[in-house]
Amino acid sequence: MTETGKYNNMDIRLVAVDLDETLFDSQKRLPEENRLACEEALSKGVQVVIATGRPYNGIPAEALKLKGLRYAICTSGASVYDLKEHICMYHDPMPRNRVTELIAGLMPMPVLCDVLIDGHAYIDASKSPLIDGIIAANSFKQYFRTSREEVPDILAYIRNHKMEPDKVTVNFLKEPGGAPYYKEEAAAWCAQFDDMVAVSGGVGNLELTKSTATKGAALLWLADRLGLKQEQTMAIGDSGNDYDMLVKAGFSVGMANSEPDVLKAVDYITKSNNENGVAYAIRKFVL
């Protein structure tokens, strides 16, 4: 997008930032420039908010160390947490019976699905050998291994858990040519659940939440809770699970490394996640 003066009068008071491939570089590290820009905004009273598909307990320590960070939108918008009080402020979960039906149809397929409940993530132990083969960087595979708890029977675990699930993620193996294996079949099964929304968190997965649980809905809920107007919000993201947030924010910024649909939808395209694109956008429009 070309440089114009039309952004000069914005009053951004809340910035929602995706983590993977946005705030973090491709090695899942938090660049120093991004950290400094976020902390400077926070020190000036701007709410910089994490907006991630990860569960609460999967937020990396690097992100949690941001000075002044108070809120996090988790599980693709199904929950919002107060990080200072360690409480879930907002929750829009999926019906337990619908999730068990969804998972029952996915289990026979050669895909790796996990279920996020109450800030934690679970996989069926029989599926753990598939982690090595999913379409993801080695850094993500390591995160997945350390953040997912194996249970002997995922369907029984869901049925017996006291909390309803927030999200289901379907991760795909790689075909010889590099395409996601069995994605069409899994997507067709998921499409039957019209009370859920399925988005992409990257080439190698699908993320399902309740149809009303999106990053955008959570962003607007939090802004209202903080007494802010929609036009005072800015969102920064790169992939399909950010799309709703980018569309609903008062001002939207896509990373240069974003998926094509994201690049078409945003108000501004910043530098890539390996070029401190978040810091560039915050300094340009907020500081």
For the cut 50, the answer to whether the pLDDT of residue 251 exceeds it is yes
Position 2 scores a pLDDT of: 38
Residue-wise pLDDT tens digits, 216-240: 999 999 999 999 999 999 999 999 8
| Predicted confidence band of residue 3 (pLDDT cuts 50, 70, 90) | very low
- Kindly report the average pLDDT of the chain as a whole number: 93
Residue-wise pLDDT tens digits, 40-88: 999 999 999 999 999 999 999 999 999 999 999 999 999 999 999 999 9
Position 4 scores a pLDDT of: 43
Residue-wise pLDDT tens digits, 154-168: 999 999 988 999 999
Closest CA to 79 of 64, 97, 59, 63: 59
For the cut 60, the answer to whether the pLDDT of residue 5 exceeds it is no
Average pLDDT (93-114) is 96
Position 162 scores a pLDDT of: 87
Distance CA 265, CA 37 (A): 24
Q: In the beta sheet, which residues pair with residue 224? A: none
Side-chain half-sphere exposure of 212, counting CA atoms within 13 A: 7
DSSP 60-78: -HHHHTSTT--EEEEGGGT
For the cut 60, the answer to whether the pLDDT of residue 6 exceeds it is no
Place of tokens 């019209």: 194
Residue-wise pLDDT tens digits, 254-280: 999 999 999 999 999 999 999 999 999
Q: Residue 21 to residues 124, 216, 232: CA-CA distances in angstroms?
A: 27, 18, 24
For the cut 70, the answer to whether the pLDDT of residue 202 exceeds it is no
Which of the two residues, 9 and 4, has the higher pLDDT score? 9
Q: Residue 108 to residues 6, 97, 193, 237, 262: CA-CA distances in angstroms?
A: 53, 18, 18, 33, 33
